[in-house]
Each structure stands twice: as structure tokens, then as C-alpha cells.
Structure 1
Amino acid sequence: MNAVAPLPTGESAAFDRPLSIAVLAMGGQGGGVLTDWIVAAAEHAGWVAQSTSVPGVAQRTGATIYYVEMLPPRGGRHPVLSLMPTPGDVDVVAAAEFMEAGRAMLRGLVTPDRTTLIASTHRSLAVSEKEKPGDGIAASGPVYEASDFAARQSIQFDMQALAERNGSVISAVMFGALAGSGVLPFSRETYEAAIREGGKGVEPSLRAFAAGFDRAARPPEPVPVLEAEALPPPVPTSVGVPQLDALLARVHGEFPTSVRPMVFAGVKRLTDYQDVAYAGEYLDRLRGFLALDRAHGGEAAGYAFTDAAAKYLAVAMAYDDVIRVADLKTRASRFARIDQEVGKRDGQLLYMTEFMHPRMEEVIGTMPKGLGLWLEGQPRLVRLLDRVVNRGRRVKTGHVSWFLSLNLVAALRPARRRLLRHLREGAHIANWLALAERIVAQDYALAVEVLACRRLVKGYSDTHARGESKFDRVLAAAPGLVGKPDGAGWLRRLRTAALADEQGEALEGALKTLEGAFEA
């Protein structure tokens, strides 16, 4: 408890109960600094203030709740202040991320008769959103709608973007929004004095504070609406490199206008992934799909079969392997992007630590076909080697030894097509494409969905294995859907279920539903 300051006069003397503020912030967002500033501002105005905090479970699995109560002292006596926010009894809720504002409403911390809600509208995805194989991002619309009636006053805007533009962190903008809300009976100078007393990053914090203060006085941002999908950029006819221009000439000369943007995207991806010859193989395969498409009325459907093949074949051919991972992690463009994201300044050193957990399967996959097959036939030797290989490693790519090690793995790219992993991927891709080719003559829409199922396969190591298993289970149902009412719709629903969770429980239920539907 802080020392009792002299009783202030004026408006602050009229408060007969504590003012309570709950701050919900995640690691790195400066929630503790914001709380300290709020306490300092209250004490600077002659109030007694107390702060507590309850940490979240871990980074982005739960925000830390900081809680502040403040009250003018009465007759030189310390007020008794609470340690935790009570539902229905909070004056200000400040959320440093939009879904945290929604969680505060669910907890009952935001009430229409009392609470001012200050929330940043940007999103920092929770682990539960990231872990889903498909799109697990929670919709922001319901939070916007609820805030209209859940809070007495609502101040919502993208505080993270405003902080970045002013070279500071989100806590400074939130402090400015709190000051601009007028909830606390303190002058702007009192808030700014609290920042100055902190002594660190004062000027950027004051700029961000001022930006938040001014923005809080403006009307709230409208509820964001999903923008229509942007039209793809036009496909160039030349980039000035003869080998690449030859690929572009094929894109323009061999494929209909409607599918060229997707074909071009595939060519770019595979050229970056492997080389020009690999992108040429991709175009050779697509030419056969276009012939099938035309033979089965694809022109009337906008060549949907070819477009799906262009998209998902490129994804399949650019499979993630240890060579690709090593390549991406050692690119100069990646280091430059991360430097920019964290705001690295000249003269500063930034080191990144990557967590990698290779398995013996990945090691065997990087071996030439013959050697890899031989080693797979020696299970006792594989188990022995796996004890050495199969463990987590923290790889510091900023250190010469680790950078050179990864760079050496990335240098295997020219040999990729002679390795066992490529052989296995090629066989899997061939079986998938053959199924689509067989089905297109009988059920065009279902064949398109067969191609789209490739999005189930992603990542590498365990992630790839789980995705491929679900992919195989979904495709196993496709032949039985040929000629069935809404066969394409059923396969689409199976794919959606497979993307719903990592364990495949939703897919299991969907397969049982499909079985029951056709038995009936």
C-alpha cells in the first residue's frame, strides 16, 4: 500500500468509492508499464492507488490481468482496496488485443451502467486459433456488436498500428486513450508526468500517448467488413531473364486467360522452390489437365478443374522438407524482414533461436533413393540412430556454425529430385492426380473437390504425417461419391471437418455421418 498523500480538492474529493481499472495484456505489450503509469498518475494527483496482477498461463494462451484501484484518502486514513476485479464493479477495462475485450465481456467485467471499454482492434492470434489445420481465426464481428451495448462507453481503434507509427509500444497508446476518455479526473499533464517519471523511452512514449489521446476523442472505427477478394495482378509477358521469359510465353500461349494468374503463381512458387526446369514440369502436367478440362465441358465452368489443378499441384510439388526449411531460415530477406518487424536499429545485434525437432524419417528422406531404402530395411539400426537424432534442438541462426550447417542442408536443393523423399512425394501426387483424372469424366464438380483436398497436406515432420493421413482418409471416400446427390458437397464437408482439429475427431464424425446418410 502506498503512503497517504494529502487529500486533493475539487472534483476528486467527490469520489466515495474506489475507481477500478482492469488491464488485459499479453507478454511484450507493456501491461505492467501501463499499470505503473496509471498508479503514478493517481499518486501524482494525490490519490492512493494499489495494483495487482494475475499472470496468464503462457504466451498467448492467456493474458495477464492487471488490476488497479484508486481513491482519494479520507482523513489521513488508508482506504481498503481490493486485489481482484469483481464482475459488475469495474470502471475501465483496457484490452491490448481485441479478443481479450471479448473475454472481458464474457467474464462480466464490462457492464453497460458503469464500464468504459478501451480496446485495440488488432488481433494477436491465440494458440487455439493457430493450432487448427484450417482457418481457426475467431470472428471479430460479434465482439464489435456486443461492445455496442455491453459497455457504457467504448473506445476502439487499432492501437498497435498507432504505436508502431510513433516508434513505441501499445501501452503508451492505451494510456493516451485512457486519458482521452475522461473517466479519471486527472489532467493531461498528470498523465504525461507519469511517463516522464518512468525515465525510459520517454519521447516515443509521449508521442504515442498524444496519438492515443487525440484518437480517443474521435468516433469509433466502423465494424470491419471482409473486402472482396482482390483481382490478381496481370501476368507479365517478360521479366528480362530468357529462361523465365520462356515460361511466361508458355503461360500466355498454352492456357486460357482465366487461369493464367493461378498458373503464373504456381510457376513463381516452383521456380523459387526448385528451378526453372521444375516449373516447366509443372506446366507440362497442367497442359494435360487443360485437355481433360476442355474434353468434359470445362469452358462453361470457367476451367475450374484446371484452375484448381494449377493451385494445388503447385502446393503439392513445393512440399516442405528439411531442405526447404533450411533454405528459408537462412535467406537474407528473412533476416531483413525480422529486423524490420522488431524495429532493429543500426548498431544493434539481433539473434534468433529456432526450435527444431528432426526425426530419423527426415534424415532418411534426404538420402539418395537407394541408400534411404536400404536403411529403412534395417529397423534396428534406424531405432539406434533415432535415439541420437530425435530430440529438440535450439538452433541459433545468427551464429556462424549453425548458419553454415543450415546453409549446407539448403545446398542440397539441386539434388532434391534424386532423394527418397521426392520419390515418395511424387508417387503420392501421382495417385491423387490419377483419381481426379478418373472422376472428372463422370463428375466434374467432384473432381474439382478432389484436387482441392490437397490443402490438407502441409508442413513437415509430424504435421505433414497427420495431414497426409487425413488427406488419404478423405480421398478414400471420393470414389463412392461419384454420381451421388451432392457428391462434391459431401467431399467438401469432409475436407472442412478434417481441417477443424489436429486430432481428426471432427473428420471421424463426418465420415460416420456420410456412411449413415447413404446407408439410409
Structure 2
Amino acid sequence: MDALSPMADQLSREKPLSIAVLAMGGQGGGVLADWIVEVAEAEGWVAQSTSVPGVAQRTGATIYYIEALLPRDGVSPVLSLMPTPGDVDVVIAAELMEAGRSVLRGLVTPDRTTLIASTHRAFAVLEKVAPGDGIGDPIAVTEATDVAARKVIAFDMEALALANGSMISAAMLGALAASETLPFPKQTYEKIIGGGKKGAAASLKAFAAAFDRTRTAPRETPRRGAEKRSDPIPASAGHPKLDALLRRLRSEIPEPAQPMAFVGLKRLVEFQNIAYAHTYLDRLKRLSELDRKHGGEVAGFSFSLEAAKYVAIAMAYDDVIRVADIKVRSSRFTRMRKEIGAKDDQIVYSTEYLHPRAEEICGMLPARIGKFVEDRPALFRALDRFVNRGRRVEVRRLGGFLQLYIVASLRGTRLSSLRHKHEVEHLEKWLTTACETLPTNYRLAVEVLRCRRLVKGYSDTHARGLSKFDRVMNTVPALVGRNDGADWLDRLKRAALIDEAGVELDGAIKTIQVSLN
């Protein structure tokens, strides 16, 4: 920054510079605050930083607060320890929703504040535990910040930092330096960063990249939801048995549903085996023929498309075997090392927290044995008392790894297990309802298939979702003859996804009952 902007020069003379940094654990918020203080002191200012801890990644960020002022007449100023709403010059948020929270706290004001935010997401606990899509709307946040802030600089600083082998703190400092908000030259920032011993070169690289990005493209509109894509169906999979699946896919499934069915095939081959994927195609063929018979072509084969998606999800259910398999995959350990930035010479430990119940143990047993235990309450309670307790499995140790590896190796027995028997019975009952509804009410039959999204997870999560699913499905017979039956079922599905306890669902069901009477 060769020349100071008029705003920066005005800020430097009227009152202390006020900067708030909102960062979660592991994002280098403390390092960023220290850098800003050192830059100010290198330019002859008096500066100090304080922090108010959050609860790391769980419920909020730590707020680092920096104030800086030139001394007057050789007297050092007394600086504040906390930011005052409406009196902050710069807010730096290391995550998009933290930028939104800074607006709610009153730290961002349109007449004064420059907001610098990374547009990437680190989902909060409340977003993760919602039964449906609990993810906050990023568009709503950006619209609010556009109104609340004097100037906004927002792009994915996390991705930029990772691409340059550094932490997001270096990228945020680069954006701050390029914002022309503070009266400090670029060279001073670079000197302070370069004075560090650990990772100085990578930090300087990320700083420079963020500086240039801020000057050329300071704004990036975040995407609402994850980017969805489907791989093109290949001409050949390179294996005769897999090619047989592709031939069936092209010849037996309607073209609009083929991309989704291809995704389902890949998922089920990975979940179990090729024969299991053929079972999937058998079900889809039967449903597609029924779809074609009852006007599916006119409707764009919506019934077949939804079946391709949700039958695959239902057949690739989350059981203990699958969970164990995912936890011991080498790709998982590789991803973990990448996410935490571990170097080749560093050892990464992981501990799995498990809480099995008697239901999961019976579910893994052969169907006859598991049913024998389930039907004898005393025996079932004794088993539950033995297994129903929290466990910490240290995967870094051979014993812990083998526990999960042995459970994962039970994949070959899955199709004869009690859990699979229950899943097949539930799946067939659900598909029977959809097929019986199709001739009378096409749109309602499509919604019946979509209701499968209520069932997910395993253990308590699966039990709650299954309970809601059954309650929603029990209303279908009363909706078949209604022109708005599909709309009502969609409303029930959305109500079931709002809260874990199902209070909204109860209210929606009562509303339907009143309207029918």
C-alpha cells in the first residue's frame, strides 16, 4: 500500500482504531491478533489485544479485540478491553455465519465498519443435529452484511490459505492489508509475518495471494447448499460384471432416471456387492414399468427418478457394519490428516466414541438368532445391560483397530442378519404403498417415495426417524382421494424435519384430521 486512503488517514487521527476478530479454535485468531498489534507497534502506535473465549467449534467463536492509537505528547493512551457496538472500524470473521453473528451483536455498522469475512462454512452443532436441512442460509447472511456494513470483503479465505499451504489467519491479514482501512503500509505487514520462525514462507505466500485477490475480486457470492453433480455414465466400467449392470441400466430404466440410478448403483456396489446392485435394478425395473403404465412419460418419469434415489438410500442403510467399515478405511485417515494439516513426519491419533445398544447387537446376528433374543425380554434386557455403555475405542492401537475391523468384516453376513430382514420388510411395505397410490394419485405417489428421507442414521437417530416416517405414512390412505394430497404429505414431511421431538409433526397431523372431518 503505497499511499494511505483518505479514510485510513482520518481514522488514525480521530480516535483509536477498533478491530474485532472472530475466529474458532484452530483458525489462528490469536496469531492474527498478535500480528495486527505488532504491525501497529512497528508503525509507532500503542496497541493492545484482549480476547473473550467462545466454546471452540461447538457454539461460537472467540472474539479477539484490538485497539491502537498514536501516543500524544509522549503519554500512552488508555485503551478499551472490549468492543462497543456501533464503534468498531474493522470486523474480521473467519467463517460466514460468524460474520452474521457480528451483525446481530451490533459490531457492524453501515457508517463505519469494514467487514472482512471468509465465505466458507464450519457448521454449528445446531445445524448438524437438525433432523432435516438445518444449514443456515448463506444468501440471507450476505444480504444482511451488505446492508449492515460500510464495506464488505468476502471470499473463501480458507480455500485460498490451504492452496498456499498456510492458515486462514494469513489470508485474513492479507485481506485486511489490501482493504485500505488501516493506515499501515503493506511492507510492514510483510515484515512482521516474515519475522516469524514457523511457516513464515507459507504465511507470506497466503498473505500475498489474499492481498491480490482483495484488490482484484473482493466479493464472492456463496452458494446455497452443496454443489450437486452427477458423473456421466461411462460406456464401459472395465469389468464384465460391472458392464452388465450398465447394460441393464440403459435398457431397463427410463432415460431421465438413469443418472440417478447410476449413482445408486455405485453406492450399492460399494455398500455390499454387485449382486446387491442387481437387486436394486430389479426393484427399479418393476417400479419403472408401473410408472410408464400410469402416465410416467407425460410426468417426466418423476416416480422412477425419485425411486432411483430413495430406493438406493433405503438399501444402503446405516448399520453398525457400515459405520465400522467407514471408520477403518485408509481414505478416512488420509482425509483426517489433510483436514488438520498434519505433516508426513507427524503421528495422528483418533479415538472413536461408541455407545452400542442391544438392538444393534441383535441386528448384526443371523435373523433367527437375533429374533430369538428380541422375543425374550429377560434375555434382551440382560444383553442390553452388558453392552449399553459408552466406549472409547483408540483406533491408533492394534486392539482398538481390530475391534472395528472385525465388525466391518461382517459385511458378508449382512444379508442374513436380523437388521437386513427388518429393513427389507420396511422397504417393501413402503414401496407397496407407493405402487398402490400411483394409479389413483401420481403426485401423491411421488411424495410417498420422497418421505423416505425421514429415515436416516442408526441407533436412536434411526429409531426417531422411523417413528416419524411411520406416522406420516399412516396419513396416506386419507389423502389418496384428495387433489391436494401430495401438498399435504409434503407439508407433513417438512414438519417432521423441523424438530427432533416431532411437535410440529403432531400439529400438522391434527390439522389434516380437522380438515378431513
Which residue does 1:100 correspond to in 2? Answer: 98
Partner of 1:409: 407
Change (3 A) 1:83 1:231: closer
Q: 1:11 to 1:477 in 2, by over 3 A?
A: closer
Identify the residue that residue 232 of structure 2 maps to in structure 1.
Answer: 234
1:18-417 matched pairs, under 5 angstroms? 18-224=16-222, 232-417=230-415
SS of structure 2 residue aligned to 1:43? helix
2:478 is matched with which residue: 450, 462, 480? 480
Specify the alignment match of 1:5 in structure 2.
Answer: none
Moved more, 192-201 or 18-27: 192-201
Kept after mapping to 2: 8 A contact 1:13/1:72: no
* 1:7-26 to 2 correspondences below 5 Å: 15-26=13-24
Q: Is contact 1:26-1:60 (8 Å) kept?
A: no
Report the secondary structure of 2:440's partner residue: coil
SS at match of 2:25: coil
Query: 1:307-363: per-residue Cα shift (whole Å, max 9, x none)?
Result: 222211111111110111111111222222333333333232222222222111101
Q: For the residues of structure 2 that align with 1:11 and 1:251, how far apart are their CA atoms? A: 67
Q: Percent identity?
A: 60
TM-aligned CA deviation for residue 380 of structure 1: 3.0
Distance in 2, Cα, partners of 1:180 & 1:251: 54
- CA contact under 8 A between 2:91 and 2:115: conserved in structure 1? yes
Q: Which amino acid aligns with 1:94?
A: I
CA–CA separation in structure 1 for the residues paired with 2:190 and 2:493 = 54
* 1:160 Cα offset (Å): 0.7
1:226, CA displacement in angstroms?
5.8
How far off is 1:120 after superposition? 1.0
1:193 alignment partner AA: K
Q: Give the Å deviation of 1:273.
A: 0.8
SS in 2 for 1:412: helix
Distance between the aligned counterparts of 1:351 and 1:510, measured in 2? 47
- What runs of 5+ residues in structure 1 fail to find an aligned partner? 1-9
The code of the aligned residue for 1:46 comes to: G
- What amino acid maps onto 1:344 in structure 2? A
Partner Cα separation in structure 1 for residue 310 and residue 380 of structure 2? 33
Q: Secondary structure at the match of 1:292?
A: helix
Give the CA deviation at 1:18. 1.3
For residue 451 of structure 2, give the secondary structure of its aligned residue in structure 1.
helix
Give the equivalent residue in structure 2 for 1:514. 512
Q: Deviations over 1:342-398 (max 9, x none)?
A: 333323222222222211110111111222122223323333332332222222323
Gap change, CA 1:19 and 1:150, over 3 Å in 2: same
Query: In 2 relative to 1, CA 399–231 (structure 1 residues): closer, same or farther, beyond 3 Å?
Result: closer
Cα deviation for residue 497 of structure 1 reads 1.3
- SS at 1:59's partner residue? helix
Q: State the Cα distance separating 1:287 from its structure 2 match.
A: 1.9
Instruction: Quote the Cα distance in structure 1 between the aligned partners of 2:247 and 2:154.
Output: 50
Offset at 1:227? 10
Q: CA deviation at 1:236?
A: 2.6
Give me the whole-angstrom Cα distance separating, in 1, the residues matched to 2:117 and 2:220. Answer: 14
Counterpart of 1:178, as a letter, is L
Query: For the Cα contact (< 8 Å) 1:366–1:420, is it kept in 2?
Result: yes
Q: Is the 8 A contact 2:130 2:499 kept in 1?
A: yes
* TM-score, length of structure 1 as denominator length: 0.93
Alpha-carbon distance in 2 for matches of 1:232, 1:505 = 36
Alignment match, 1:434: 432
Aligned partner of 1:329: which letter? K
Q: 1:349 to 1:11 in 2, by over 3 A?
A: same
CA distance in 2, matches of 1:423, 1:153: 59
Alignment of 1:454 with 2:452, yes or no, is: yes
TM-score by length of 2: 0.94
Q: Count residues in correspondence.
A: 510
Alpha-carbon displacement from aligned partner over 1:222-246 (angstroms, at most 9, x marks no partner) = 5346699867443234212122122
1:230–1:366 distance in 2 versus 1, CA, 3 Å: closer
Local SS of the residue matching 1:506? helix
- The answer as to whether partners of 1:237 and 1:249 remain within 8 angstroms in 2 is no
Q: In the alignment, is the contact (CA less than 8 A) between 2:137 and 2:224 conserved in 1? A: no
Q: Distance in 2 between matches of 1:230 and 1:78?
A: 56
Q: Which amino acid aligns with 1:433?
A: L
Task: Give the secondary-structure state (helix, strand or coil) at the position aligned to 1:124.
Answer: coil
Local SS of the residue matching 1:15: helix
8 Å Cα contact 1:12-1:72 kept in structure 2: no
Q: Distance in 2 between matches of 1:300 and 1:11?
A: 67
- Give the SS at the match of 1:200: coil
SS at match of 1:199: coil
Say which SS state the counterpart of residue 297 (structure 2) adopts.
helix
Q: Select between 152-161 and 212-221 the one with higher mean Cα deviation.
A: 212-221
Distance in 2 separating the partners of 1:464 and 1:71:
57
